[in-house]
Amino acid sequence: MLDMNFIRGNEELMRNTAKWKNADFPLDELLEWDDKRRELRQETEGLRAERNALTKEVERLLRAGEKDAGEEAKARVRETGRRLDALEPALAEAERRCAELLLLAPNPVSADTPIGASDRDNVELRRCGTPAALGFAPRDHVALGELHGILDIPRGVKAGGPRSYVLKGTGLRLHLAVQQLALDVLESRGFTLMDVPVIVKPEALERTGFFPAGKDQTYELAGENRWLAGTSEVSLVSLYSDEVVEVDEPLRLAGMSACFRSEVGSAGRDVRGLYRVHQFSKIEQVVICCGDAAVSERMLQEILGNAEHILQLLELPYRVVAVCSGDMSLKTHKQYDIETWMPSRGAYGETHSASNLLDYQARRSHIRHRGEDGRLQYCHTLNNTAVATPRILIPLLENHQREDGSVYIPQALRKYMNGLESLEVCGPAVSVEE
């Protein structure tokens, strides 16, 4: 959410932001309702002051024995009350409409954010690692998972419907190993590990900017007015709503949770395998810091570096891209994506997303801190994936496969895999051509 005075003082910026983000933001309608709200508020406050003064006048006149004048003043009190009764519903409606429309206001992007229409306009910043020249026709992660008996998609679909899966045996251990690696890295870097609710109230989704725009991506629990979160960011930020927090040192939070997304609008996209599924697990980094742009920029680079470090431990080639305006959500001020090389796609695929939201979420959530001058001000919030699985299993299996079908286990994961160095094929491996 943005401050209304900021919007009024930056109309051109807000129009451009809506255009750059492809956002349906009715700025003119908001300004009209805000004008109406201001007029009605001024009028009602004037009438309340008049009624209070008249009430005191009635008391004075009656104490002075001026009964007729007192009755006349009483009549004026009643008339003022009737005028207030007529105005207050209109004021309440204007305030309601302003609040609704403010939720649609997009967060302006940073000066170094590329302006573009879609992910095709994201700008590559750097690459780390070089995709291996495998020297043979590689299997994709589904074929590798089936070969090793660690992935069963047909039975997953039988139980859960499309975009469902089952991880079995060593596949489950691998799924848990990458999560534990991420948790250990973050804990060593000062993050508080947290297991948080994934069933959340609608207010939590609204406070964090996932509602109203992302409502169609979220599963609702019928009849309960509660929803399944698509990221632990929702709960981690909401834990501190309506609080004044101490952020001399930023709050570094690491949430471990199951996540659920409906993937509306993705019909026909990434239908094979584990790239786009309805249920997954994620270790999420969330930072709440002081409302200083230099500090939140520094924290953005920190959480991005944490994710890169985890990918380096997994020995995976990746690239970092600056996300363009048209590929951002309403709430994001600045965003980096990390895309990891996936041989089956012959391309990099998104595995991480790091965002600085400035005070956008904190205003909605009413999370504040005291500045150096002792005054309350809104915090800044940031988030980034540490690891999301099973998607990370795609590059992990595909990049580390060998011609015989075996899969190398990176050194950093072995202590979580009982020392296992590779997934070996039981019996002769069937070639891709066969």
Domains of the chain: 4-102 (1.10.287.40), 119-423 (3.30.930.10)
pLDDT tens sequence across 38-90: 999 999 999 989 889 988 988 888 888 888 888 888 898 899 999 999 999 99
pLDDT of residue 266: 66
- Catalytic residue annotation: 261, 276, 350, 353, 391
Residue-wise pLDDT tens digits, 309-366: 999 999 999 999 999 999 999 999 999 999 999 999 999 999 999 999 999 999 999 9
Pick left, alpha or beta for residue 425 (phi over 0 → left; psi -120 to 50 → alpha; otherwise beta). Answer: beta
CA distance linking residue 29 with residue 150, whole number of Å: 55
Between CA 124 and CA 246 the distance in angstroms is 36
Question: In whole angstroms, how far apart are CA 292 and each of 6, 7, 358?
Answer: 17, 20, 8
Q: In the prediction, which pLDDT does 430 show?
A: 45
d(Cα 59, Cα 65) in Å, to the nearest integer? 10
Give the C-alpha separation, 191 to 331, whole Å. 24
Average pLDDT of the chain? 94
What pLDDT, on a 0 to 100 scale, did the predictor assign at position 268? 65
Give the Cα separation of 312 and 306 in Å (integer).
10
Looking at residues 372-379, what average pLDDT do you find? 96
Rounded to whole angstroms, how far apart are CA atoms 66 and 68?
Answer: 6
Averaged pLDDT, 12-17: 98
Between 57 and 108, name the one with better pLDDT: 108
Any idea which of 9-13, 182-186, 430-434 has the lowest mean pLDDT? 430-434
pLDDT at 235 over 60: yes
Q: Distance between CA 107 and CA 213 in Å, rounded?
A: 13
Which pair of tokens denotes residue 17? 């932001």
What pLDDT, in 10s, does the model give residues 170-209?
999 999 999 999 999 999 999 999 999 999 999 999 999 9
Instruction: Name the residue type at position 105.
Output: A
Query: For 292, phi and psi rounded to 5 degrees?
Result: -125, 125
Quote the pLDDT of residue 59.
86
Provide the strand spans (E) within 119-277.
123-128, 192-195, 199-200, 219-221, 226-228, 251-260
The per-residue pLDDT for range 334-347, each reduced to its tens digit, is 999 999 999 999 99
Asked if 291 and 359 count as a contact pair (C-beta separation under 8 A), the reply is yes
Residue from 174, 122, 57, 117 nearest 413 by CA? 174
Contact, 273 vs 407, CB < 8 A? no
| Helix (H/G/I), strand (E/B), else coil: 329 | coil
Query: How is residue 287 annotated by DSSP?
Result: E
What is the C-alpha to C-alpha distance for residues 276 and 272, in angstroms, rounded to an integer?
8
What DSSP assignment string belongs to 223-262? TTTEEE-SSTHHHHHHTTTT-B---SS-EEEEEEEEEE--
